[in-house]
Structure 1
Amino acid sequence: MSKIITRSPGSRQRGAFTVGLVAIALTLSACGNGAQAQNPTTGPESAAASGEPVEGGHLVFADVVPAPRWQTQSATDYRQANVLNSVLDRLTYYDAETETLVPWIATDWSPNDDLTEWTFTIREGVTFSDGTPLDAEAVARNLQVFGEGITDAQIQPNQDYKNFVSAEVTGDDQVTVTLSEPNANFVRATSSVTSGLVAPSVFELDNAGQNDIAQVIGSGPFTFESQVPDQEIVFTAREDYAWAPETAENQGAPYLDGFTLRYLPEVGHRAGSVSTGQADLVRGIQPVDEATLEAAGHSVYAAAGTDLSSNHMAVRFENEEVSDARVRQALQIGTNREAIKQTVLSDSYQLSGSILNHGAPGFVDLSEDFAYDPERAKELLDEAGWTVGSDGIREKDGQRLELTVSASSNSVVIKPVFDLMVQQWAELGVKLTSRAGDNTFFLQAQTDETVPLYGTRAFSYGGLGPLYGSGGTLTLADDPEFDELVDRANAEADEDARNEILAEQQDYIVNEQAHAIVLWDEVQVYGAHSGTHVEFTTGAAPIFQGAWKEGE
């Protein structure tokens, strides 16, 4: 489970494994009460009073906005991940408490000496929800699609499976993956939600079919039951589920009978839906509402997203305005993060110490290196040749130092943070235009290298290479020097030695080149109606297999 800051008067956390479920849904004004009553004289009520999980009941989960697609490799944000985590299983699971990968569908794995082959032993007796076996053949087919994609169905390869060559069945219960280059981090990628395993029949569908949640067949603890298009999706528990990750407290079927996902795009309505019981669990609670929920006896869960990068602005450094490392470094140390914390964020949020979150494997705290120093920031801008113009904005060779940043509307704090940074950077002589919350522009900016700043946090299962290396998804530029650091880490079998190289990578991104203006650790803040018990993955997704509700 994820490390969680929990503030829940009068309630305990209890959980097992499994995961968040998202669905396209109805506005909560039409939801009705999400809590199903238990007879107060029954055994389940007594179990709740003693802190033991209660079996039965249906949970209503409200997410922020609908997911546009459901194909496994596209599950790169919370809208998909929160659902597919509970519908699809994976080969491995990252356990935050032990900070290790633990068995799930794979009971064992090992590399060859040069880290170009990984052999997985597949758990026996696992089936997909359609009854077909999740055996070595099925695993090999999934891995092949992850590595190669499906051209005819316009399915792209998984970004974390770089240098994939093949996946072959090498025994009754064994699959061997061959890579063209060493990759010590490959097995970590198999714990990603984008590595969720589906029945091979799903890969025979066209693109639309693979992106239809009703046709996604997994081996997870919940299965699709029904949907009202653009309003809600209902999932039901799988009674024969018996193959949770090794460290899961609940090794069997979910306690819940099922769950329904609805969505609440209006941030101002989310706390109210928790208070009234229209939803049992809501993602995206704004900081100003946290204390109100707690005072009313409800719970606030701050689920740390250690599987992701920190929240930051990725700098597209091939743009002329930010091509000089001194400009990027000035922006890094000219950002007053403590003011951001005090003005916008709550105690649920921890300021960044690196491009990785504090709880991530290999994290090093670099915060002293980029401590707020506006005078030094101005000196760096002067040294880079940017002088203050008549209106206070710096200029160089007739060009003004004007930058635009994009970000989606899914974060409740990113827009006010960027609005504050507009003011902070203006004091440096930098004109920042924030397009946070403009989703149309955000989608354009994902692949438009002319947008100089890209506000994001990204899953980093494949390491920092797929994000910041050549061909990476964030800077959209080649970086041979960083590629060399990635290659060194991937070829290093010793974990301590590999972490030393990872420390070099972080220093390169944050300090030396300042390709990322780091802000705060990734966290998703949830509100839970009183009596709702849930834990979270290291990807900040709800674990619904172990979730339960107290009787009424």
Structure 2
Amino acid sequence: MISMNAMISMKRTAAAGLATALLVALAACGGSPANEGPPDTAESLADKSSFNPQPYENLRDGGTVTTSLPELSPQMNVWQNDRTAYSRNVWNWYNPLLITFTADGDPVFNPDYLTDVEQETVDGNTRVTYTINPKATYNDGTPIDWTSFEAAWKSSNGKDPAYLPAGTDGYDRITSVTRGTDDRQAVVTFDGINLWWQGLFDNLLHPQALDPTVFNQGYVNTPHPEWGAGPYTIQNYDPQNGSIVFERNPKWWGKPGKLDTRTFLQMDSVAAVNAFRNGQLDAVAVNGKDQLAQVTGVPDTEIRKGPTLQLDLFTLNGQSPILSDPQVRKAVLEAIDRRQIAEYHFQGLNYTADPAGSLNLLPFQKGYTDNFSKVIQYDPEQAKRDLDAAGWTVGTDGIREKNGQRLQFTYVNTGDDAIGKAVAGGTAAMLKNVGIQMDIRQVPTSDFSKIVTGRQFDMFYSGASQSDPFGLAYICQLYCSDSQFIRSGVNDPKNDALIRSVNALPTPEEQYAKAAEAETAAFATYGVMPTVNLVGIYAVKNGLANSGAGRFFSTPPENIGWQKQG
């Protein structure tokens, strides 16, 4: 579950992205052995660099980097709603990347694409003028100009139902995208004030992909490198065997990539850890104390640890027969001890965190409030009372029944790591305590997209990874009734006006307050339960620069490579 597409992205359970958002999407909860003193927290690690930050000049020319992904997602267009965080990790290596972020969340405009960015307020409306580098050109020879901004806006503003965008937040408040002084200048005008405009247009859409059929289906298992641009392009793409290799792009006009090649291999987390130990991978996210023990002490490697932008969550499918009753969904959530879920993640890692109470903001961000606890408290006895009131009576085997039907549904668990299995098994035990039978269906990680986009679950555990410091900007992507991100199917249209009003307010403080009200109302539909903000722990070969755990840090791909010796 990060992210460089001005939105929130879905990841498989217990997965979090490497801080660069460019190196590997698979990560999880790892950390230091439990005997290293007081436990770390997101706050205590916030100012500690754990990604080997190095300037471009300190990287040596040549070499390769190979890491793993849980899946090579079929939908490779990050603007389309079936994309995942893994789509984005691949996309960023061969497409324009205009805006990245420092570890503290400050935006950095890439001069290879943008020579100037000017924000002003005109007649009460935010207006941003992007001046594009005259050298900027897609690989097929098409100039990168204002029409790429227009294409991104038209496909993602929600006005044309032919498009299925990943998110409309921010783009739906743009009134126009026009040509500036020439084709190499895009003028973006909003309706009113937009406080979070730096989170938009961090990457672009080739105008050829504006056709709705191409936008929705044209990138499925088809990466279209000719529509990309940047220091790298695709050397080989093999979806059958789960690999994609990038090489330096001969058509690139900017700073050349330092690496000779960059490879992603599709692997489950257990296989990835073994591959790292065998020298096949250069970095791996470790998920839990057992995997941490396996990579600790591997020669010529180091462990990097820090906060992530991922929040894990349960999703209940309100369109499945058993969970269509909001009283049942409420009871399910009341029966789950989120502190125990956190313990599954953090046991043996010398790390602690309270349960997360919001999907809008991370617990260490300004404006964060625990909105979930305003709606649901862990209370198995109340869960039993709610089920009693809904007519579900306890049967002879302890499982409740109603009109001859058992209170039984299926939980889908992706991947083979121990934490995912512990969360699944522990949740089943908690629900059995109140008379609910939760059957666990185990599937490979490579099925993640199919399970999520097809809503092939009654209950699912996954991660939501933020793309930038502006989580509040994407509240509608989470909670509006037409959300394609939260697959509960129970977001209430009655809340849409309240949710959409958040980003129209003129100050952060006003937005924080209104967002808390809106999110509380959304949680009361009983479709999702945030659990915990994960810690990221990565085993990395010595000298790998600008990758690891860095909070909001992201960087263009030419800055990934091996540090010079001496």
Supply the distance in 2 between the matched residues of 1:18 and 1:219 (Cα, whole angstroms).
Answer: 18
Q: 2:263 is aligned with what amino acid?
A: T
Can you list the C-alpha shifts for 1:157-216, whole angstroms capped at 9, x where unaligned?
34324476653224435434567x76847736526xxx6324435657954468522535
Give the structure 2 partner of residue 234 of structure 1: 245
Which structure is higher in RCO with an 8 Å CA cutoff and minimum separation 6?
A: 2
Can you list the C-alpha shifts for 1:375-427, whole angstroms capped at 9, x where unaligned?
34333433444332222122345443223333544977434312220011101
Supply the distance in 2 between the matched residues of 1:444 and 1:84 (Cα, whole angstroms).
Answer: 19
Report how far residue 100 of structure 1 moved: 4.7
Supply the distance in 2 between the matched residues of 1:82 and 1:275 (Cα, whole angstroms).
Answer: 23
Report how far residue 444 of structure 1 moved: 6.5
2:96 pairs with one of 85, 89, 95: 89
Q: CA RMSD for the aligned pairs?
A: 4.3
1:169 maps onto 2:169 in alignment:
no
Q: 1:507 is aligned with what amino acid?
A: T
Sort the Cα spacing of 1:210 and 1:372 in 2 relative to 1 into closer, same or farther, 3 A: closer
Sort the Cα spacing of 1:322 and 1:22 in 2 relative to 1 into closer, same or farther, 3 A: closer
1:495 pairs with one of 499, 508, 515: 508
Supply the distance in 2 between the matched residues of 1:283 and 1:216 (Cα, whole angstroms).
Answer: 31
Secondary structure at the counterpart of residue 226 of structure 1: strand
- In the superposition, the TM-score normalised over structure 2's length comes to 0.72
2:429 pairs with one of 423, 431, 456: 423
Supply the distance in 2 between the matched residues of 1:22 and 1:373 (Cα, whole angstroms).
Answer: 35
Aligned ranges 1:394-543 → 2 under 5 Å: 394-409=400-415, 413-437=419-443, 446=452, 452-458=458-464, 463-473=474-484, 474-477=487-490, 479-510=492-523, 512-521=524-533, 526-535=538-547
Secondary structure at the counterpart of residue 108 of structure 1: strand
Supply the distance in 2 between the matched residues of 1:408 and 1:432 (Cα, whole angstroms).
Answer: 16
Report how far residue 459 of structure 1 moved: 5.2
Can you list the C-alpha shifts for 1:465-491, whole angstroms capped at 9, x where unaligned?
223221222222451332122122032
Check whether the contact 1:120–1:176 (CA below 8 A) recurs between aligned residues: yes
Give the structure 2 partner of residue 28 of structure 1: none
Supply the distance in 1 between the matched residues of 2:209 and 2:458 (Cα, whole angstroms).
Answer: 39
Give the structure 1 partner of residue 83 of structure 2: 76
Report how far residue 500 of structure 1 moved: 0.9
1:292 maps onto 2:294 in alignment:
yes
1:159 pairs with one of 164, 167, 188: 167
Report how far residue 242 of structure 1 moved: 8.2
Secondary structure at the counterpart of residue 179 of structure 2: strand
Sort the Cα spacing of 1:428 and 1:198 in 2 relative to 1 into closer, same or farther, 3 A: same
Secondary structure at the counterpart of residue 535 of structure 1: coil
Check whether the contact 2:67–2:282 (CA below 8 A) recurs between aligned residues: yes
Sort the Cα spacing of 1:419 and 1:127 in 2 relative to 1 into closer, same or farther, 3 A: same
Give the structure 2 partner of residue 335 of structure 1: 336
Q: 1:122 is aligned with what amino acid?
A: T
1:138 maps onto 2:148 in alignment:
yes
Give the structure 2 partner of residue 390 of structure 1: 396
1:121 maps onto 2:126 in alignment:
no
Q: 2:236 is aligned with what amino acid?
A: S
Report how far residue 280 of structure 1 moved: 0.6
Sort the Cα spacing of 1:502 and 1:401 in 2 relative to 1 into closer, same or farther, 3 A: same
Report how far residue 276 of structure 1 moved: 2.5
Q: 1:80 is aligned with what amino acid?
A: S
Aligned ranges 1:123-272 → 2 under 5 Å: 123-128=132-137, 130=139, 132-147=142-157, 156-160=164-168, 161-162=171-172, 167-172=177-182, 173-177=184-188, 184=194, 187=197, 190=200, 196-201=203-208, 206=214, 207-208=217-218, 212-227=222-237, 230-231=240-241, 232-237=243-248, 252-265=255-268, 267-272=269-274
Q: 2:247 is aligned with what amino acid?
A: T
Sort the Cα spacing of 1:509 and 1:365 in 2 relative to 1 into closer, same or farther, 3 A: same
1:358 pairs with one of 360, 363, 369: 363
Sort the Cα spacing of 1:439 and 1:86 in 2 relative to 1 into closer, same or farther, 3 A: closer
Check whether the contact 1:418–1:436 (CA below 8 A) recurs between aligned residues: no
Supply the distance in 2 between the matched residues of 1:17 and 1:443 (Cα, whole angstroms).
Answer: 22
Check whether the contact 2:156–2:172 (CA below 8 A) recurs between aligned residues: no
**Residues paired across the two proteins, number:** 495
Report how far residue 463 of structure 1 moved: 1.6
Supply the distance in 1 between the matched residues of 2:226 and 2:147 (Cα, whole angstroms).
Answer: 18
Secondary structure at the counterpart of residue 499 of structure 1: helix
Aligned ranges 1:34-73 → 2 under 5 Å: 52-73=58-79
Check whether the contact 1:110–1:119 (CA below 8 A) recurs between aligned residues: yes
Supply the distance in 2 between the matched residues of 1:550 and 1:444 (Cα, whole angstroms).
Answer: 39
Q: 1:157 is aligned with what amino acid?
A: P
Secondary structure at the counterpart of residue 463 of structure 1: helix
Supply the distance in 1 between the matched residues of 2:356 and 2:453 (Cα, whole angstroms).
Answer: 27
Check whether the contact 2:428–2:439 (CA below 8 A) recurs between aligned residues: yes
Sort the Cα spacing of 1:488 and 1:230 in 2 relative to 1 into closer, same or farther, 3 A: same
Sort the Cα spacing of 1:446 and 1:422 in 2 relative to 1 into closer, same or farther, 3 A: same
Q: 2:264 is aligned with what amino acid?
A: L
Secondary structure at the counterpart of residue 486 of structure 1: helix
Secondary structure at the counterpart of residue 483 of structure 1: helix
Sort the Cα spacing of 1:355 and 1:543 in 2 relative to 1 into closer, same or farther, 3 A: farther
Report how far residue 238 of structure 1 moved: 5.2
Secondary structure at the counterpart of residue 295 of structure 1: coil
Give the structure 2 partner of residue 7 of structure 1: none
Sort the Cα spacing of 1:271 and 1:372 in 2 relative to 1 into closer, same or farther, 3 A: same
Sort the Cα spacing of 1:225 and 1:440 in 2 relative to 1 into closer, same or farther, 3 A: closer
Supply the distance in 2 between the matched residues of 1:335 and 1:457 (Cα, whole angstroms).
Answer: 17
Supply the distance in 2 between the matched residues of 1:77 and 1:410 (Cα, whole angstroms).
Answer: 19
Supply the distance in 1 between the matched residues of 2:417 and 2:189 (Cα, whole angstroms).
Answer: 38
Secondary structure at the counterpart of residue 560 of structure 2: strand
Can you list the C-alpha shifts for 1:262-298, whole angstroms capped at 9, x where unaligned?
2223x33222221232111235655411122123353
Report how far residue 454 of structure 1 moved: 3.9
Supply the distance in 2 between the matched residues of 1:339 and 1:21 (Cα, whole angstroms).
Answer: 28
Sort the Cα spacing of 1:291 and 1:436 in 2 relative to 1 into closer, same or farther, 3 A: same
Report how far residue 358 of structure 1 moved: 2.2
Fraction of identical pairs, as percent:
20
Supply the distance in 2 between the matched residues of 1:407 and 1:170 (Cα, whole angstroms).
Answer: 50
Supply the distance in 2 between the matched residues of 1:19 and 1:108 (Cα, whole angstroms).
Answer: 27
Secondary structure at the counterpart of residue 66 of structure 2: strand
Check whether the contact 1:284–1:411 (CA below 8 A) recurs between aligned residues: no
